[in-house]
Amino acid sequence: MRFHAIVKGISRYATTNTKAMLHATRLFLALAALSTLAACQEDDEVIAPLPPVPSQNLNVDAFSNLAPGNKWVYQRYRVDSADNVVEVLGLDSIFISGDSVVNGDTYSVVHRNVMVPHWTYLWRDSAGYVVTPYHEVVFCADPLDQLIYTEVEGPVGVQLDYTVYSTPESITVPAGTFSTLKMQGEITSIGGFPELADWRRPRSYWAEDIGRVRYYEFFAFNLLGNRYDLVSYDISN
């Protein structure tokens, strides 16, 4: 009888203890699940969205669009060091009139009509670059994020080291808002020439399937610069 009571007590204790353990286990799992969910939510809140990855193997001709008949019209502004518009100037247009062969290479004839008379340039696409007969680089689609071209204006003057950056920049101009790649020159004074402020760095913004949508011109000791914003374009040719 006593043995039976002891066994019964042990059985009751085991049953009760098992239920308690199951309850504790369920409670632990529930708390663990909540903790995991909370951790995931915190991670989701602090992780910023990844920037768009620039497409690889960009074709430079999609940026240059040098077919005869193509045209771009720009509004010219006078801007200060903070890129504020100080004065609205006239319109500037660029159009492609045809081809010209120089030293066996075929270039597009690029007319820029700022004021009468217009200026004429020769550009061509060459292995990822837009170049001139003088080996100047107008733009580059490959490689990105590295030095592509150095221009020296000296012996007393500046050295300009150009790079095209792969991170897209959104630029809004009268013609619309475009995702662009920026080409920018870093300025180094040489031969004792006075240091120039960073805001004078020459730069231009190019959109795929459009062309150049914004660019700047600066003059050494002028307190203001010129900004050109795309107003309209026709690249249907």
| Distance in angstroms (rounded) separating the CA atoms of residues 141 and 156 | 31
Domain formed by 61-234, architecture: Beta Barrel (2.40)
The pTM assigned to this predicted structure is 0.75
Q: What is the pLDDT of residues 167-204, one digit of tens each?
A: 999 999 999 999 999 999 999 999 988 888 899 999 99
The average pLDDT across 93-104 equals 95
pLDDT for the residue numbered 231: 98
DSSP 149-173: EEEEETTTEEEEEEEE-SS-EEEEE
- List the chain domain ranges: 1-47, 61-234
For 10-43, what is each residue's pLDDT tens digit?
334 334 443 433 344 443 333 343 334 333 443 4
Chain segment 65-85, per-residue pLDDT in tens: 999 999 999 999 999 999 999
Q: What is the model's pLDDT at position 56?
A: 55
